[in-house]
Structure 1
Amino acid sequence: MITGPQCRAARALVEITRGKLTIRSGVDEAVIRDFEHKLDEPDDRTIAALQAALEELGAVFIDENGGGIGVRRKFTESEAKRIARLEGEGGIVANDRVP
């Protein structure tokens, strides 16, 4: 189950407003706001609806894994291939700091 802060972070990552999430999930906007600000904890079915809607939009929720819970954006297959190609280019290892 996701947390309110994860919900808020996922909305930012997939660039969706609370109003649009309300339409996609069927969850009232006030419930989303209170959940994100830790003012109220909706029932499991409501949280599952929010999580499903955000995952459909490209959010991936990360469970507690020793480093803490989180959320990231899912890459499409073509994006993943491009990233892999860039990571495998090689070249001179240098300091990334810009003077």
Structure 2
Amino acid sequence: MPHAKILLPAQCRGARGLLNWSQGELADKAGVSRSTVKDFETERHALHHSTERLLIEALETGGAVLIPASETGEPGPGVRLKTTID
């Protein structure tokens, strides 16, 4: 069974930056409040699993690829944009 994806605050900020989305845009696309995104990204609180899934789905649908940390911990988690081949 595959591991559930985990979204880190820095990945969320980075993905929004790559997609050129504001916190409000991500919130709208994910169906959550802007304060939820803001509080998560500033590490004021963790996300419920269902909210985390909504954010991940919105970011991935928008074109972000969330890169998990490797099993050894290196090189670490990250984010990139999907590439399209015409």
Which blocks of at least 5 consecutive residues in structure 2 are unaligned? 1-5
The SS at the match of 1:24 is helix
Pairwise CA distance, 1:41 = 0.3
Q: Is residue 73 of structure 1 aligned with residue 78 of structure 2?
A: no
The aligned length equals 78
Aligned counterpart in structure 1 of residue 42 of structure 2, from 37, 40, 46: 37
Distance, in Å, in 2 between the alignment partners of 1:31 and 1:51 is 14
Give the root-mean-square deviation of aligned CA atoms: 0.8
Which blocks of at least 5 consecutive residues in structure 1 are unaligned? 79-99
Distance, in Å, in 2 between the alignment partners of 1:51 and 1:77 is 23
Larger Rg: 1
Q: Deviations over 1:6-59 (max 9, x none)?
A: 001000001111111111101110010010111110101101100100000000
The SS at the match of 2:65 is strand
Distance, in Å, in 1 between the alignment partners of 2:58 and 2:8 is 14
Pairwise CA distance, 1:75 = 0.8
TM-score (norm 2): 0.86
The SS at the match of 2:36 is helix
Identity of aligned residues (%): 36
Distance, in Å, in 2 between the alignment partners of 1:76 and 1:15 is 18
Which segments of structure 1 move beyond 4 Å, counting only runs of 4 or more? none
Map 1:11-90 → 2, pairs under 5 A = 11-65=16-70, 66-78=74-86
